[in-house]
Structure 1
Amino acid sequence: MAVEVVMPKLGMSMKEGTVSVWNKEVGETVNKGESIASINSEKIEMEIESPAEGTILDIKVSEGEGVPPGTVICYIGEGNEQVEEKKERDIQSKSKKERKKISPVARKMANSANLDIDTLVGTGPGGRITKEDVLHALPEREEKKQEEKKQEEKKQEEKKQNETEHQPINMMRKTIASRMMESLQTSAQLTITLKADVTQLTNLQQQLNETAIARYDTKLTITDFVAKAAILSLLEHPAMNSQYHNGVVETFENVHLGIAAALDNGLAVPVIQHAERLTLIELAKSIKLYGQKAREGKLLHDEIQGSTFTLTNLGAYGVEHFTPILNPPEAGILGVGTMYDTPVYREDELCKGTILPLSLTFDHRVLDGAPASAFLSTVKAHLEEPISTLL
């Protein structure tokens, strides 16, 4: 008996899931546990694995189509097996054809010419389809084929002339677009920038990494140090660890740090709960774990909720300063640019230094430029005196 594959429920609030892409087609064989499709809902994307070994018998939900959880999206069974509901349609169709009045000669001619008997109009007694009816239908069908061919050629020609590519927006992209518009329309956003001399930090990173890898199987990155510096600064400047809600500013004692992770088809922001309780190594492990889960589409719904401040890094793309958009309803988001080497003065001596650009976007309804600048300056101080991130 065919096995039903249904749209899973990825979270308590999930109302609809969308099939991003089918990895298998009808008629292809699959092994149990093999990925057959990718589905997404809001910011979560995951692979659907085959619950059984067999053949894809029927695909009920097409790519880009959204359906409620529990909806059957495909059937898997034996290669020659038919899905029950499909059988019923075939039986009904067959019965309808058998009820059609048609002479034996006309039926034979129609079958040979691949004519659908249901489309033929009978002129014989009682509406019986005759040989002449079939002969009359043949040129009409040929004319229809020629017209369809011309229409298809016309469509192909128009497609070649128009190079614009139209792709349906998946659920994740829709959610991101909606949240970004909400963020810009419902908050007073301002971005300030600053540069930190992280020469000592890069030296410390190199010194610690050999031990970190050997003892903890974890490599420390600049993002890990920036995250730790941001957490310490939020504890010193709690106004930045806030949100504006219904005319009231809510300030949080705990730091639930969102780490923006770029995906092939969008963006996810997994949240490290109670980040202020973690050591640098524990924080680095959490950042890498959630980043990997985001890329593999394995984040749970609860793992992308409740952040109080967000960190986003575009340094890998060569970007220096940029304007991060607030992750609503948070009051702040810190953007990290690409590091670069440049001559700097130290005690009247010119030497090579490593600079890290920082961009802070904050909600002007929650705090003003001075306290926001004080927070960013504290982040800079921790990065320029990196030993403070270890204590």
Structure 2
Amino acid sequence: MAVEIIMPKMGMGMEEGTVVEWLKQKGDSVKKGESVVSISSDKIEKELEAPEEGVLIEIEADVDDIVPIGKPLGYIGSPGESINEPGEPTSLIQPTQEDSDVPTVEINQATAIASEEEPRLRVSPAARRLSKIMKVNLSTVTGSGPLGRITKADVEHAANTQKVEPENKTIEIEEKPSATPPSIGGTTKRVTGMRKVISERMFQSLQQTAQLTLQTTADVTELLAFQKKAREAYQINDEVRLTITDFIAKAAINALLDHKEMNSLYQGDSITTFDSVHLGVAIALPEGLVVPVIQDADRKSLSAISREIRKASKLARASEMNQLQLNGSTFTITSLGTYGIGFFTPVLNPPEVGILGVGTISEQPVYFGDELKKRSMLPLSLTFDHRAIDGAPAASFLAAIKANLEKPFKLVL
């Protein structure tokens, strides 16, 4: 009997997922536990494994299709095995003599008449969207998918082959050879999965908020010396490293407790300010950016924060984060310091009203009175939503982060 490959629920708020890529094709043999299809929801991508050994006998959802949780993506069964059409009871497909009473016969006859007069089109969501864009009449398209389902490829083929009927006029047009554009090398790739989610959210962020960025530099010469002594005194292990990012996170958390207006969410026509800090820490992955959340970060020590950031980084790079670990942040920090970038303009992570951008530390000459000294300077860029925060309180908050970093003993008190 065929076994369904189900769209799983990967988080509390998840209602649907997107098919990113089929790793196996119809007719391919699969082993139990072997990856069959890649799906995504929000910023999580996950490969689904085969629940049983067999053959992928049907694919119900094409790439880019959006599927509700609990619905089948495909079926695994024995070679040559067929399945009933999803959503239709077996009794209607193969009625038995005992079950065929009068009401059932009438329903089946009505269904048959309706099918003859107006056949129901089986169309994938992606194909339906594309047909609207390309102005293709789906009733004229022949489906090549399972059970005659119309796919995106069918719509594209129909769009390329359909002809425009000429008007009832005879117009002589002199044909001229069309210029052939030069061949340009390149690769075209569809925007899907995590990259698609990020692109949509960043665009919405800039469209729906009033973003302004303030910049300053913090003298972290003492912080670097303090970090060195702390790492020498603290028993370093694989979970705690006491990196500069850990200190910056603690500095931002302490500043948020004194400037609670920055620890807020702007949603609809209301601003919610939080007593606890739920800190998002952006982590760059090859396929995009994820923001794990340190819940109740204001109640954690510097070493605990370091441990959680390191753990989140490992999980993110192993694609083992779940939706719960990526939700609920009230403020975010993001860094481009490892790439040699100084100041930049970080983009808000709505509905948060603030995000701190961290640049790379550089050695610069700084005057102390009449004396010029070499100091380690850290660029900081604060983007905030001007709808919720004015410039003065935002500047005061950024100054508090700077003060915390320049007096590192404050971070461990």
**If the TM-score is normalised by the length of the shorter chain, which range does it land in?**
0.7 to 0.9
Matching residue within 371, 375, 398 for 1:353: 375
- State the partner residue of 1:342: 364
Over the matched positions of the two proteins, sequence identity in percent amounts to 48
Counterpart for residue 178 of structure 1: 200
Counterparts in 2 of 1:257 and 1:56: CA distance versus 1, 3 Å: same
Residue 256 of structure 1 is matched in structure 2 by 278
Moved more, 213-222 or 38-47: 213-222
Q: Are residues 1:378 and 2:377 paired?
A: no
CA contact (8 A) 1:57 1:77 kept: yes
Q: CA deviation at 1:211?
A: 4.9
1:260 offset after TM fit, Å?
1.7
Q: 1:299 and 2:321 equivalent?
A: yes
Which has the larger displacement, 335-344 or 16-25? Answer: 16-25
Deviation at residue 246 of structure 1 after TM alignment: 4.3
What amino acid sits opposite 2:2 in the alignment? A
Does 2:284 match 1:285? no
Query: What's the counterpart of residue 15 of structure 2?
Result: 15
Bigger helix share: 1
* Structure 1 Cα separation of the partners of residues 394 and 210 of structure 2: 13
Instruction: Quote how far apart the aligned CAs of 1:388 are.
Output: 1.2
Aligned to 1:119: none
User: What residue in structure 2 maps to residue 64 of structure 1?
Assistant: 64
Q: Tell me: CA distance 1:250–1:12, structure 2 relative to 1, closer, same or farther (3 Å).
A: closer
Equivalent in the alignment of 2:6? 6
Q: Please tell me whether the aligned partners of residues 10 and 300 of structure 1 are also in contact (alpha carbons under 8 angstroms).
A: yes
> What corresponds to 1:331 in structure 2?
353
Q: Within 5 Å, which residues of 2 pair with 1:259-278?
A: 259-278=281-300
Q: Deviation digits for residues 42-66 of structure 1, max 9, x if unmatched?
A: 2221221232344444443333333
Quote how far apart the aligned CAs of 1:69 are: 1.9
CA shift at 1:203, angstroms?
Answer: 2.2
Alignment match, 2:218: 196
Q: 1:328 to 1:25 in 2, by over 3 A?
A: same
Q: How does 1:75-86 map to 2 (within 5 A)?
A: 75-78=75-78, 80=79, 82-85=81-84
CA contact (8 A) 1:212 1:220 kept: no
Counterparts in 2 of 1:249 and 1:68: CA distance versus 1, 3 Å: closer
What is the aligned partner in structure 2 of residue 138 from structure 1? none
Asked whether the equivalents of residues 189 and 361 of structure 1 are also in contact (C-alpha less than 8 Å), the reply is yes
> How far is the alpha carbon of 1:336 from its aligned partner?
0.6
Whole-angstrom CA distance in 1 between matches of 2:196 and 2:267: 24
Aligned Cα root-mean-square deviation (Å): 3.0
Mapped partners of 1:48, 1:25: distance in 2: 14
| Counterpart for residue 243 of structure 2 | 221
Ranges in structure 2 where 5+ consecutive residues have no aligned partner = 86-156, 161-179
Could you tell me how far apart the structure 1 residues matched to 2:357 and 2:239 are? 27
Mapped contact 2:364–2:376 kept (Cα < 8 A):
yes
1:208 is aligned to 230
Tell me if structure 2 keeps the 8 A contact 1:64–1:168.
Answer: no
1:234 aligns with 2:233: no
Provide TM-score, normalisation by structure 2.
Answer: 0.70
Cα offset, 1:257, TM superposition:
0.9
Report deviation, 1:2: 3.5
Aligned length: 323
Q: CA deviation at 1:197?
A: 1.5
Tell me, which stretches of 5 or more residues in structure 1 are unaligned? Answer: 87-147, 152-157
Query: SS of the counterpart of 2:4?
Result: strand
Q: What is the CA deviation profile of residues 183-225 of structure 1, one whole-angstrom value per residue up to 9, with x for unaligned ones? A: 2233221101111111222222223234545367421221111
1:73, 1:198 → 2: CA distance?
53
For residues 254 and 394 of structure 2, the distance between their equivalents in structure 1, rounded to whole angstroms, comes to 15
The answer to whether the 8 A contact 1:32-1:50 is kept is yes
For the residues of structure 2 that align with 1:298 and 1:263, how far apart are their CA atoms? 13
Aligned in 2, Cα 1:351/1:83: closer, same or farther, shift over 3 Å? farther
**4+ residue stretches of structure 1 with deviation over 6 A?**
none
Q: Secondary structure of the equivalent of 2:63?
A: coil
Gap change, CA 1:378 and 1:73, over 3 Å in 2: same
What letter is aligned with 1:68?
Answer: P
SS for the counterpart of 1:231 is helix
How far did 1:300 drift?
2.4
Distance between the aligned counterparts of 2:232 and 2:56, measured in 1? 50
State whether residues 56 and 74 of structure 2, in contact with CA within 8 Å, keep that contact through their aligned partners in structure 1: yes
Higher Rg of the two aligned structures: 1
Whether contact under 8 Å (2:335, 2:357) holds in the other structure is yes
CA contact (8 A) 2:239 2:311 kept: no
| TM-score, length-scaled by structure 1 | 0.73
Q: Distance in 2 between matches of 1:3 and 1:15?
A: 22
